[in-house]
Chain A
């Protein structure tokens, strides 16, 4: 089952285990420059607001109501990352593991294949929680993703439109599979250890800003933006340990910010800062270290053209403020660091 609480999607599987709980939120962030460089991880700038589509059924397209799920507002060319907050099972000193399929416009963000209800191992078309703390975009090659950037559905920029030639779905699709209870309890017996540290700086939500209103519901889709260093970690568990028959899924509709208030009556968030202003202010970017193997990128995604490349072909200016930046303040985060442990830097 999925509940929407405090702008988070809470997935739980009481029929599998009371510990099988996972929280997913969508973080606002800087749009990294879409150029030849590969950037470190940008910060989280607060959660996107989320609303039940059913609560606004009379003001959204009928197709959205048919799909169900939730919706969130995005500015054109705004970026997003997905944060996986796992539930730590104290007496086993381990989070409950999940396999999570993420698609944008029903194109799998890890493989580029069309949406499919099942998990697949070869090639792996899902991320494994808690190994994967977040996902910022499409996996284009081992250790590199292209950032999720919102563009109007139908403008031709989204991965969905580039791969299928159709502008039908847009949005984000998420499906969560828990690990089998027996497998979890066997792998993680009751022990007592110290808690691990894991944090990517997330700023609190900012106050909403006045936004324009337009009586038109524009669906947004996620297009491949600038390149970022991020591994999609290989599944370390045997494939049969996932509950293939127990899952929950959610369609996340993306609404153009300009019409968000028209639908919900609520103010949308302000525009996020520009990467250049953020960097010049000396605020931190992030690098995440984990030595575990990562999956390679698949051809369908590595062949995608970025928004900037397509915009140049189309002679459109859809990415204002796309100048390169040079992040100097890069904070290293390493999987498995204990609270209070001193991090080894570069010297």
Chain B
């Protein structure tokens, strides 16, 4: 889990680093409020993924989806947890039923802005 998360973050950062020096290990760590040595260890999978708040900051800096990074870190964002806790049975059932659905079918489940008769 830690290795997969770290590897993904490192690849994203290096991709950005190729375009801008702002994405050096040191500068990125500084912006998200952690030590460069810690970020380095996280990227190498030698440390567990950081807190939800730090992962969200990393996602913002790297233009990545925070839910994707959290999932790689084996976490679920606190707002999603809150939603699930409200109706745990319903959401557990829904997620299990959707697990084998193709992506295009899953995205159809999200709430759309309804179009009516103009």
- Interface residue? A14 (CB, 8 A): yes
Q: Chain A's nearest CB lies how many Å from the CB of B5?
A: 21
Chain-B contact segment, one of A60-68, A282-290, A316-324: A60-68
- Which of B20, B107, B116: most chain A CB closer than 10 A? B116
Which of A1, A69, A251 interacts with B107 by CB under 8 Å?
A1
- Interface residue? A106 (CB, 8 A): yes
A window 35-83: CB within 8 A of B: 52-54, 65-70
| Residue of B whose beta carbon sits closest to that of A103 | B118
User: Known: A3-B110, A194-B19, A195-B19. Contact between A68 and B115, CB under 8 A?
Assistant: yes
- Interface residue? B104 (CB, 8 A): yes
Q: Chain B's nearest CB lies how many Å from the CB of A92?
A: 15
Which of A3, A14, A173 interacts with B103 by CB under 8 Å?
A14
- Which of B19, B115, B117: most chain A CB closer than 10 A? B115
Task: Report whether B118 and A4 are in contact in the complex, using a CB–CB cutoff of 8 Å.
Answer: no
Which of B20, B111, B113 interacts with A69 by CB under 8 Å?
B113
- The CA-CA distance from A2 to B117 in the complex, in Å, is 16
User: Known: A3-B113, A194-B19, A195-B19. Contact between A67 and B118, CB under 8 A?
Assistant: yes
Which of A4, A106, A249 interacts with B115 by CB under 8 Å?
A249
- The CA-CA distance from A339 to B21 in the complex, in Å, is 13
- Interface residue? B79 (CB, 8 A): no
| Residue of A whose beta carbon sits closest to that of B20 | A339
Q: Chain B's nearest CB lies how many Å from the CB of A322?
A: 33
User: Known: A1-B108, A14-B103, A14-B104. Contact between A250 and B118, CB under 8 A?
Assistant: no
Task: Report whether B116 and A4 are in contact in the complex, using a CB–CB cutoff of 8 Å.
Answer: no
Which of A9, A70, A115, A339 interacts with B118 by CB under 8 Å?
A115
- Interface residue? A15 (CB, 8 A): yes
- The CA-CA distance from A9 to B108 in the complex, in Å, is 16
Q: Chain A's nearest CB lies how many Å from the CB of B66?
A: 13
Across the interface, which residues of A come within 8 angstroms of B115, CB to CB?
2, 68-69, 248-251
| Residue of A whose beta carbon sits closest to that of B114 | A68
Task: Report whether B118 and A52 are in contact in the complex, using a CB–CB cutoff of 8 Å.
Answer: no
Q: Chain A's nearest CB lies how many Å from the CB of B88?
A: 24
Across the interface, which residues of A come within 8 angstroms of B103, CB to CB?
14, 18
- The CA-CA distance from A66 to B115 in the complex, in Å, is 9
Q: Could you mark each residue 250-280 of chain A with 1 if its beta carbon is under 8 Å from any beta carbon of chain B, else 0?
A: 1100000000000000000000000000000
- The CA-CA distance from A2 to B108 in the complex, in Å, is 10
Which of A3, A67, A115, A195 interacts with B117 by CB under 8 Å?
A67
| Residue of B whose beta carbon sits closest to that of A70 | B113
Q: Could you mark each residue 141-153 of chain A with 1 if its beta carbon is under 8 Å from any beta carbon of chain B, else 0?
A: 0000000000000
For this complex, into which size category does the number of interface residues on chain A fall? 20 to 34
- Interface residue? A230 (CB, 8 A): no
Across the interface, which residues of A come within 8 angstroms of B110, CB to CB?
1, 3
- Interface residue? A12 (CB, 8 A): yes
| Residue of A whose beta carbon sits closest to that of B103 | A14
- The CA-CA distance from A18 to B108 in the complex, in Å, is 13
Across the interface, which residues of B come within 8 angstroms of A194, CB to CB?
19
- The CA-CA distance from A111 to B112 in the complex, in Å, is 29
Q: Chain A's nearest CB lies how many Å from the CB of B33?
A: 21
Q: Chain A's nearest CB lies how many Å from the CB of B61?
A: 15
Task: Report whether B108 and A65 are in contact in the complex, using a CB–CB cutoff of 8 Å.
Answer: no
Across the interface, which residues of B come within 8 angstroms of A9, CB to CB?
113
Task: Report whether B112 and A3 are in contact in the complex, using a CB–CB cutoff of 8 Å.
Answer: yes
Task: Report whether B112 and A251 are in contact in the complex, using a CB–CB cutoff of 8 Å.
Answer: no
Across the interface, which residues of B come within 8 angstroms of A250, CB to CB?
113, 115
Across the interface, which residues of B come within 8 angstroms of A195, CB to CB?
19
- The CA-CA distance from A101 to B107 in the complex, in Å, is 25
- The CA-CA distance from A115 to B118 in the complex, in Å, is 10
Q: Could you mark each residue 75-118 of chain B with 1 if its beta carbon is under 8 Å from any beta carbon of chain A, else 0?
A: 00000000000000000000000000001100110111111111
Q: Given contacts A52-B113, A66-B117, could you give 17 more A-B pairs where the C-beta distance is less than 8 Å?
A: A1-B107, A1-B108, A2-B115, A3-B110, A3-B111, A14-B103, A14-B107, A15-B104, A18-B103, A52-B114, A67-B116, A69-B115, A70-B113, A115-B118, A195-B19, A248-B115, A250-B113
Interchain residue pairs with CB less than 8 A apart (5): A1-B110, A3-B112, A52-B111, A65-B116, A173-B118
